[in-house]
A and B are shown apart, each in its own frame.
Chain A
Amino acid sequence: MAPKTKSGTALQWLLGILLTGGGVVMMLPFAWMIMSAFKTESEVKQLPPTLWPKNITFENFSNLFVNMHFGTYLSNTLLIVFFSFIGLFLNAMAGYAFAKFKFKGKDKLFYLVLATMMIPGQVTMIPVYLLLNEMHLTNTMVGIVLPGFVGAFGIFLFRQFMSTIPDELLEATRLDGASEVRTFFQIVLPISKAILAIQGILTFIGGWNSFLWPLIIANDEKLYTLSVGLALLKGEHGSNYALQMAGSTFMVLPVVIVFIFFQKQIIENYSISGIK
């Protein structure tokens, strides 16, 4: 664009410095969280606060598992992540049908699916609770998983991607005598690796962070997820900041690592789907 003049270079440096400054501010809460997680409870209460932990301690993290029930929360959360991946396959199946089949009512049904994207959780949370209560599913893992099991946004993205699969390829497989289910698993899914990867990452992040349904449906601490457990920890140990920061670090760090690892795919996915 602009010619590479001396003032242009100076401007570039100024931009870089500005953005670095802003970036430091953006990262500050994370840095403070991680550093506080390795401090002792008494060091956290010390004034003036220390930047680096004087004695790095892992006591807060072990406390989460020994004195709190973070082990249970973790296995519940992983269970939800696992179920979300099954939901992901159902989304892929529906996206495939909407992309590659002609059937009666297809457009109307697809608009219906899209319409569910507009319905806010605050409207459905009360009736869904009543429904699950009627089905005797409150305070069960099934009840926690079901309301968010499938999602319109996932179906939409799969449909967009799978529309690009050539019809000839599917026809050829059918002529070879493969069943529709086999075509889906052996041809369609492998071709859709790229979108499956992105959706898989987003599904992991969503499942790992799940909060609203476990909060409403689980009465028993045995069914709490990490998010709900962390909210409980803040309520019960309001002044144990080192412990709280350890719990937060434990929740945030896996997502940060997954995100940094796959940032290119995630950001591009949002750039494509975000505006349209």
Chain B
Amino acid sequence: MKGILNNKTPYFFIAPTLILLTMFSLLPIVIALVISFTDMDLAGLADVSNISFVGMQNYLDVLTDPLFVQAITNTLYYVIIGVPSVIALSLAIALLINFGRSRIFTTFRVIYYLPSVTNVVAVAVVWTYLYNPSLGLFNYVLNLVHLPDVQWLQHPIIAKISLIILALWRAIGLNMLIFIAAIKGIPRSYYEAAQIDGASSWQQMRTITLPLLRYAIFFVSITTMIGWIQFFEEPLIMTKGGPLNGTMSVALFIYNNGFQYSKFGYAAAGSFILFISIIVITLIQFKFQNKETDV
């Protein structure tokens, strides 16, 4: 009798979460895929008979939509400027903190990590104020050192950079922790051997630390890249994708089409393109990861 009980118990324990995950994570994928081949909109929401199958039309339209192309271009900007900056800064800070001998250096972890846990909406509101052309702190500081005003959020290209700076500020903390964990994972004996051979600190960093951090660097670049593809709250709150769609992101494009214009089928097609690109990037990561462990 106990055996029967034991057989049922685990299912009882996992049932609530599995049902919820199926309903709100797995089933939605199927629904999204199906409606991405239809012209589902508000009329379709009211009455199913208004929905018709349109084949690949949504995908063809999205890929030729100038706004979507613009969103992809912006995302490339974010990735090309944002990913190396995130890696350089968080790695530099991780190395500096790790190099410190005093216990004070561990408190720096808290300070640099703090922006990562705070509410993104509040942060976006605060930075919009900092970026304000006439009242903002940044332009005031620039004027103090006799530099001209910067149109932080008013110029299509500068606005992209402004959002990258904000995202950088938020991203340093978590990635710094990943790097610190990876640095601590390097066996001490490597350094001891190098010291016996008379290698300087700089040489040790260049020949031991950095090469052994290869995988951590790769991991951070992949997750950061995926984060940029999903970039959403900051442009939604700070710029609404403007000026001149200069900060429009793929995620914001999907949100606008789905919930502002109620073009559910069209938005679902856009979201699937986003999903597929994330899967491709993740697969590349796994491939490299396996190679790494083979060595």
Contact = CB atoms under 8 A, between A and B. Distances in A.
Interface string B1-13: 0100111011111
Contacts of A36: 129
16 contacts: A15-B96, A26-B114, A28-B137, A113-B17, A120-B274, A120-B278, A122-B254, A131-B28, A131-B31, A212-B232, A248-B126, A256-B114, A256-B118, A259-B114, A259-B117, A275-B216
Contacts of A47: 134-135, 140
B32 A124 contact: yes
Given A146-B24, A252-B119, A126 B16 contact: no
A211 B93 CA distance: 30
B181 A29 contact: no
Contacts of B11: 97, 103
Interface residues of A, number: 95
A71 to B, nearest CB: 18
A78 interface: no
B210 interface: no
B169 A150 contact: no
Contact of B275 (A48, A97, A120): A120
Interface in A241-271: 241, 244-245, 247-248, 251-252, 255-256, 259-260, 263, 266-267, 270-271
A126 B268 contact: yes
Interface of B: 2, 5-7, 9-14, 16-18, 20-21, 23-29, 31-32, 35, 40, 45, 93, 96-97, 99-102, 104-105, 108-115, 117-123, 125-130, 132, 134-135, 137, 140, 169, 172, 174, 177-178, 180-182, 185, 191, 201, 216, 219, 226, 230, 232-233, 236-237, 250-251, 254-255, 258-259, 264, 267-268, 271-272, 274-275, 278-279, 282
Contacts of A118: 278-279, 282
A263 B255 contact: no
Given A32-B137, A49-B135, A271-B177, A128 B24 contact: yes
B29 A119 contact: yes
Interface in A153-167: 155
A231 interface: yes
B127 A29 contact: yes
Contacts of B140: 47-49
Interface in A73-122: 90-91, 93-94, 96-98, 101-103, 106, 109, 112-113, 115-116, 118-122
A196 interface: no
A244 B125 CA distance: 7
A222 B271 CA distance: 30
A224 B100 CA distance: 45
Nearest to A210: B119
A256 B126 CA distance: 15
Interface pairs A-B: 4 shortest CB-CB? A127-B28, A101-B10, A97-B13, A127-B31
A271 B219 CA distance: 14
A155 B17 contact: yes
B105 A29 contact: no
A144 interface: no
